[in-house]
Amino acid sequence: MILGIETSCDETAAALVTPEGEIRSNVVSSQAALHARYGGVVPEVASRRHLELVGPAIREALAAGRATLDDVGTVAVTQGPGLVGALLVGLSAAKALAWARGLPLAPVDHLQGHVASLYLGPDPLEPPFLCLLASGGHTLLLDVQGHDGYRVLGSSLDDAAGEAFDKGARLLGLGYPGGAAIDAAAREGDPEAFAFPVARVGGHDFSFSGVKTALLYAVRELGDGAAARQADLAASYQRAIVRALVRGTTAAVERTGHDTVAVVGGVAANSELRAALPDATAPPLALCTDNAAMIGSAARYVEAIPSPRYLALDAYASAA
Ligand code: KG4
Ligand code: ZN
């Protein structure tokens, strides 16, 4: 089996995946509560917490999968992009474990991991397809032709969609992490109450920094009345972001002629986005936000590095 490890941001995760793509265990320990008081992820705090949690997460993944290290044939780990200190904790744990057991190590790109969340059983998606990857750190439109990669058609020129959700939630007093909180608040609100335009940029790119400013001005204008309009503001804000994502995805489908469309990443958990793209394939909610099963899945299509050559591997902070 493949033991996947993911520590790129504020989730410490470990999972067991079979070479066929069946999930045997999927342990995610979220640090969200730890970072909530700061209104966002504090990198140094995240690294220290990963250090405490990575061992227990691996042990729990083995126990939940009724397995021992004897059942592990490959160790897979997120190499980047992400917070470099956080990544280094997972990478070091993976190296130590693989080296101690003489196992090969598969370095996995986090974005490829999100795409590979679609390749897990029981109903894996087969390339080719068009993929919208929307997370806290990235918003990308991808042309996926094979299991081991993709071509980037467009991306956000500024904030990622998830970042827009998180910053909006902060403005609305909904706390961190914001996406799920806006999603919940929006259910009680009127999405047409406020017009929050999302800038159209050229090609297949996105821009989400303007919509956040529009929300800021609306909240300022309402002053003390903003709290009473929280649901309407959340619903209208969510509508604007979802519209932009759907518009971009539809345009990319038209250009590429793909019959199959998929949505991955934390924002793929959004109920309005899922409803707005009814024909798109989206992973189950637990596989949209960061997890290690998707890292194990991506590792199936990566050439693992034999022991001990991977000891020199380094983490990388930004997308290549
Ligand atoms: O993929 P992910 O877990 O981490 C990154 O790789 O960035 O994505 C996290 C992002 C956060 O910005 C979070 O607010 C957003 O996904 N998110 C959502 C929802 N659940 C999580 N955004 C909108 N609606 C949701 N239900
Ligand atoms: Zn992610």
> Residue 286: what residue type?
A
Using DSSP's 3-state secondary structure scheme, residue 152 falls into strand
The pLDDT assigned to 176 comes to 85
The percent of the chain in helix, strand and coil, each rounded to the nearest 5, is: 45, 20, 35
The whole model's pTM is what? 0.97
N- to C-terminal Cα separation, the chain: 28
- pLDDT of 168-185, one tens digit each? 999 999 988 899 999 999
Which phi and psi angles does 32 have, rounded to 5°? -50, -45
The pLDDT assigned to 174 comes to 95
Q: Which ligand 1 atom is at minimum distance from the Cα of 114? A: 1
Determine which residue's CA is closest to atom 7 belonging to ligand 1: 136
Evaluate if residue 59 carries a pLDDT over 70. yes
182 and 237 Cβ atoms separated by less than 8 Å: yes
Strand pairing report for 261-264 and 129-134: parallel
Determine which residue's CA is closest to atom 16 belonging to ligand 1: 266
The pLDDT assigned to 39 comes to 84
133 and 114 Cβ atoms separated by less than 8 Å: yes
Residues β-bridged to residue 151: 143
CB atoms within 10 A of CB 4: 34
Angle at 300 between CA 268 and CA 20, to 5 degrees: 90
Percentage of residues of the chain with pLDDT beyond 90:
95
**Furthest C-alpha separation in the chain:** 63
Structure tokens at 101: 């057991």
E-strand stretches of 18-148: 23-30, 74-80, 105-109, 129-134, 139-146
| Interval 27-45 mean pLDDT | 92
Q: How far, in Å, is the centroid of ligand 2 from the Cα of 37?
A: 21
CA distance 161 to 159: 6
Which phi and psi angles does 300 have, rounded to 5°? -65, -20
- pLDDT of 179-213, one tens digit each? 999 999 999 999 999 999 888 998 999 999 999 99
Q: Which ligand 1 atom is at minimum distance from the Cα of 11? A: 3
- Is the backbone of residue 249 left (phi > 0), alpha (psi -120 to 50) or beta? alpha
| Interval 31-39 mean pLDDT | 88
Instruction: Identify the residues whose C-beta falls under 6 Å from ligand 1.
Output: 9, 135-137, 162-163, 165-166, 177-180, 183, 265-267, 269-270, 289-290
The number of residues making up the chain comes to: 320
Q: How far, in Å, is the centroid of ligand 2 from the Cα of 229?
A: 31
Q: Tell me the pLDDT band of 320, cut-offs 50, 70 and 90.
A: low
Q: Tell me the pLDDT band of 40, cut-offs 50, 70 and 90.
A: confident
Q: Which ligand 1 atom is at minimum distance from the Cα of 110? A: 6
- Is the backbone of residue 277 left (phi > 0), alpha (psi -120 to 50) or beta? beta
The pLDDT assigned to 38 comes to 87
Q: How far, in Å, is the centroid of ligand 2 from the Cα of 81?
A: 9
DSSP category for residue 304? P
